[in-house]
Amino acid sequence: MASDDEFYADIRSADGTYKFLVDGAWRESSSGRTCGSVAPADANAPAYAFQACTPGEVDEAFAAARAAHRQWARTPLHERAALLHEVAAEMRARRAPMAACLVREIAKPAKDANTEVVRSADLIDYAAEEGVRALGVGTLLHADSFPGAARDKLCLASKVPLGVVLCIPPFNYPVNLAVSKIAPALIAGNAVVIKPPTQGCVAGLHMAQCFRAALEKCGAPAGLVNVVTGAGAEIGDYMTSHPSVNLVSFTGGDTGLSVAKKANMVPTQMELGGKDACLVLPDADVALAASAVVKGGFSYSGQRCTAVKLVLAFPEVADELVELVCAKIEALRVGRPEEDADITALVSKRSADFVQGLVEDAVAKGASLKQPWRREDNLVWPTLVDHVTSDMRLAWEEPFGPVVPVVRVTSEAEALRFVNESKYGLQGCVFTRDVDAAIRVADLMETGTVQVNGPPARGPDHFPFQGVRDSGIGSQGIINSIETMTKTKSVVINLAKPSYALA
């Protein structure tokens, strides 16, 4: 087997700049320009440089995908699945360079970076198997099941691919949330064009090389997987409104709202922001809830769409809950990602500035910090903010950092107001020992998912995952994505009428 250096040699130019991928070839842009990512844990020092693609090169990527799709759509399902299994094997074998990029580009703790790559390979394997089961069947309809119709028609309804899927993953999971789009698209018979985020781009390029190697080994069309790099402000709108796009699958923040508006009636699959609330009822297991708040609120420094971003605690448990959470915060290690610290630098100075602004607004309006405010460059120490009220920005806005607000509520109605009047509606959770209360509150929470006695979470990756309001459009999860990335085609057979009557 080739060494990692040999395997990844083609994706870099002689000067170390990373190339983009079109129709199986790694190329340098005709623009002569590059973009760059930074190292958040190193005072935003330059990390990697990659190509700034032109609109013409975007056109070439879509043309390659369109041509590849026509062949791939008629490729047997078992061959599509075999390709995905090959990709998964390549990713497991080449996980170290990808994980190293995640550590450097997005300050993801080393253990979590490795987990993301392995989890992504598992997702690809599962998508291959699920796709064979889900797409290997059709529906046969008889006309006479409808009133007044005769038994002279048969309809064979089957799932066929949409065509070309534009995949736009976010910075925080640039590998996992890329393959969660790519794998269902490919097993369904589509081709893909990927626009990686600026931070996390190079991890995505390493991932793409695993796809390229598998395509070549399996004899699949080279243009099935294409990667276009550059600044979203320059080519983003051009890509999302491109006439060759048949579906836009986007994960990110409020940018997705404008993407959906510019998609020219093309189907969209959107997973956007969240303000995931944790309701702790009077009879809750407070120790369990405290563990969930810390895990849900501070994992990857709170930079997760499903992070706990609001705690709604009743008077009977609020003091104990705050005390337990603070004790657990003291045990969190703050430091560098390669040392597996629990809290690492936020992805950008802008993100850290935003978090600090939310905290300053809350304190100015009467909230109390349970830990002293501390920040160095992008690194923000974990903070619990108590006695947050509805007039504070922190009660409603998504911090995307290691800051968790506590609102003390006196009734379910008051708690549910914070959930249901939010512009977001991704996930929520409720802690209680009363199964009736759990079902009642879950039913009243207007979110895509409700966790009972556990923190918000995306996975396992085959679970349905969706939001309401500004948190998204459509549903994800492997089988849901396969459904979204296909359409129904009907073949109606008009039967000849018999020339004789049955006795």
- Residue 501's pLDDT is 57
Which is more confident, 267 or 75? Answer: 75
- pLDDT of 437 above 80: yes
With respect to residue 494, please indicate whether it lies within any of the assigned structural domains: no
Whether 8 is covered by a domain: the verdict is yes
**Structural domain contains residue 9:** yes
- Both 335 and 318 in one domain: the answer is yes
> What is d(CA 328, CA 335) in angstroms, rounded to the nearest whole number?
17
Question: What does the DSSP 8-state code read for residue 462?
Answer: T
Average confidence (pLDDT) over 360-365:
98
Instruction: Tell me: do 431 and 343 sit in the same domain.
Output: yes
How confident is the model at residue 150, as a pLDDT?
85
Residue 501 lies in a domain: no
Does residue 217 share a domain with residue 345?
no
* CA separation for the pair 13, 8 (Å, rounded): 11
Q: Do both 195 and 328 map to the same domain?
A: no
Non-local CB neighbours of 129 within 8 Å, separated by 6+ positions: 81
CA distance 118 to 207: 12
Q: Residue 1 above 90 pLDDT?
A: no
Beta carbons within 8 Å of 265's beta carbon, 6+ residues apart: none
Which pLDDT score is estimated for 257? 84
Residue 499: how many other CB atoms lie within 10 Å: 5
Same domain, 318 and 342: yes
Q: Is residue 247 part of a domain?
A: yes
Q: Which domain holds residue 130?
A: 4-136+162-273+470-484
Q: Which active-site residues does the annotation give? A: 271, 305
pLDDT of residue 500: 59
* pLDDT confidence bin for 242, thresholds 50/70/90: very high
Note whether 9 and 116 are same-domain residues.
yes
Let me know if residue 191 belongs to a domain.
yes
pLDDT digits 0-9 by tens, 252-275: 888 888 888 877 778 899 999 999
Query: Does 291 lie in the same domain as 436?
Result: yes
pLDDT tens digit sequence for 289-334: 999 999 999 999 999 999 999 999 999 999 999 999 999 999 999 9
DSSP assignment string, 4-50: HHHHTGGGB-TTS-B-EEETTEEE--TT--EEEEEEGGGTTEEEEEE
For residue range 98-139, what is the model confidence (pLDDT) as tens digits? 999 999 999 999 999 999 999 999 999 999 999 999 998 889
Q: Which CATH number goes with the domain that contains 361?
A: 3.40.309.10
Q: Say whether both 239 and 312 belong to one domain.
A: no
Contact by Cβ (8 Å): 46, 36: yes
Residues 267 and 305 in one domain: no
Total of domains in the chain: 2
In a domain, 101, yes or no: yes
For all residues of the chain together, what is the average pLDDT?
Answer: 95
Question: Do 424 and 478 lie in a common domain?
Answer: no
Is residue 503, in this structure, part of any structural domain at all?
no
Whether 246 and 114 map to the same domain: the answer is yes
